[in-house]
Amino acid sequence: MFPINRPRRLRQTTQLRRMVRENTVTTSDLIYPLFAVPGEGIAKEVKSMPGVYQLSVDKIVAEAKEVYDLGIPSIILFGIPDNKDVEATGAWHDCGIVQKAATAVKEAVPELVIIADTCLCEYTSHGHCGYLEVGDLSGRVLNDPTLELLKKTAVSQAKAGADIIAPSGMMDGFVQAIRTGLDEAGFQDTPILSYAAKYASAYYGPFRDAAESPPQFGDRSTYQMDPANSQEALKEIELDIAEGADMLMIKPALAYMDIIWRVKEATNLPVAAYNVSGEYSMVKAAALNGWIDEQKVVMETLTGFKRSGADLILTYHAKDAARWLQD
């Protein structure tokens, strides 16, 4: 009790505070998302995400080198294809845009860990994350036919050079289907980072500009989780672990820190938090207006994810954070 106990004793100097600091963000924790588009020499800024670009493969390679030189160990690749169709051909074709980008990056920066986002929404004409009955405008994605397409996509991404497969469509059984597909194709050692608890969130808005992937009708609430639920997240996690997930992702991050914490407590697998597009855009908008100190706000947020139990953080701030950590 006071006056014997005075917690301020340990807050008196910078060095003392450093000594008792419980959590720190390091560059090793960061994963940087990149958007690949067809063409050459293209770097098109995403309107709702200042500082984030759609990049052609040549530019992706340059960016990957920069990321690696900053000490960031990993990137996650998304693709915007030339053509979209009901079968999501661009997702699983061996000449798909993510496949091309993965191969080029692997050749140029072999040590950089390439994560492939494995989903269909960027490649389907309707923008949903799976296969729909032709003519069905309800947005009720057919689960099991989608698994076959995801399996093909994952194998093709692994063949192209992806080191980690990250299925993000919230289909039931997708980890098992992809694990089986990878194993049959000889990729027993390719880990799966499952978007295990992914919520139907309005914070994905700017990403859908970046990836040109908004659903053309309906929404994703028949497959992504209800933001009101947390028990259900634990169920999703348990199933994905049983199906063979090597790492688990929670998404979004900021409004779901309780979920990050509960998942970390419930498993001993590495946990990743996705600091999503809307979270990024809000910080950027406030920073560009001079309303907040961007560096301090970003580092405080990233530290918060670590404190919540995240081992890894996918974030559009990764390059800036790596630079700030160097100084």
> Using CB distances below 5 to 8 A depending on partner kind, what does residue 123 bind out of Zn ion, ligand PBG, none?
none
Q: Could you confirm whether 44 is annotated as catalytic?
A: no
Site for ligand PBG in 111-140 (CB under 6 A): 117, 119, 121, 129
Contacting ligand PBG within 178-197 (CB under 6 A): none
Q: Is 54 in the site for ligand PBG (CB under 6 A)?
A: no
Least Cβ distance, residue 186 to ligand PBG (angstroms): 27
Tell me whether residue 251 is one of the annotated catalytic residues: yes
Distance CA 202, CA 180 (A): 33
198, 264, 284, 306: which one is catalytic? 198
Look up tokens 């993000």; give the residue.
168
Cβ distance to ligand PBG smaller for residue 25 or 115: 115
Which of Zn ion, ligand PBG, none lies near 207, with the C-beta cut-off 5 to 8 A by kind?
Answer: ligand PBG
Backbone angles phi, psi at 30, to 5 degrees: -95, 145
- The position carrying tokens 């994605």 is 141
Question: Should residue 253 be labelled a site residue for Zn ion when binding is judged by CB under 5 A?
Answer: no
Among ligand PBG, Zn ion, none, the one that 204 touches (CB under a kind-dependent 5 to 8 A) is ligand PBG
Partner touching 298 among ligand PBG, Zn ion, none, CB below 5 to 8 Å by kind: none
Per-position x/- string for 249-278, each x denoting binding to ligand PBG as judged by CB under 6 A, each - no binding = ---------------------------xx-
Residue 181 binding result from ligand PBG, Zn ion, none, given CB thresholds of 5 to 8 Å by partner type: none
Distances (CA, A) of 16 to 10, 11, 12, 97: 6, 6, 7, 50
Q: How far is the CB of 153 from ligand PBG (least distance, A)?
A: 12
Give yes or no for residue 207 binding ligand PBG (CB under 6 A): yes
Per-residue binding string, Zn ion, 101-140, x by CB under 5 A, is ------------------x-x-------x-----------
146: contact with ligand PBG by CB under 6 A:
no
CA distance 4 to 10: 14
**Residue 308 binds which entry of ligand PBG, Zn ion, none, CB below 5-8 Å type-dependent:** none
In our burial notation (b when 16+ CB lie closer than 10 A, e otherwise), range 227-244 reads beeeeebbebbebbbebb
Task: Give the nearer residue to ligand PBG in terms of CB position, either 127 or 191.
Answer: 127
Beta strands 43-45 and 53-56, pairing class: antiparallel
Could you give the 3-state DSSP secondary structure of residue 96? coil
Min separation Cβ 244 and ligand PBG, Å: 20
Task: Give the E-state strand segments of the chain in sequence order.
Answer: 30-37, 43-45, 53-56, 74-79, 113-118, 164-167, 193-198, 247-251, 271-275, 312-315
Q: 318 vs 52, 63, 188, 228, 289, CA distance in Å?
A: 11, 12, 30, 29, 21
CA separation (Å) from 63 to 45, 53, 109, 181, 277?
14, 10, 10, 31, 19
Judge whether 27 and 325 are in contact, CB under 8 Å.
yes
User: Given the structure tokens 């098992």, which residue do they identify?
Assistant: 176
| Active-site residue set | 198, 251
Catalog residues that contact ligand PBG under the rule CB under 6 A. 117, 119, 121, 129, 168-169, 204, 207-208, 220, 276-277
Q: Where on the chain is the footprint of Zn ion (CB under 5 A)?
A: 119, 121, 129, 169
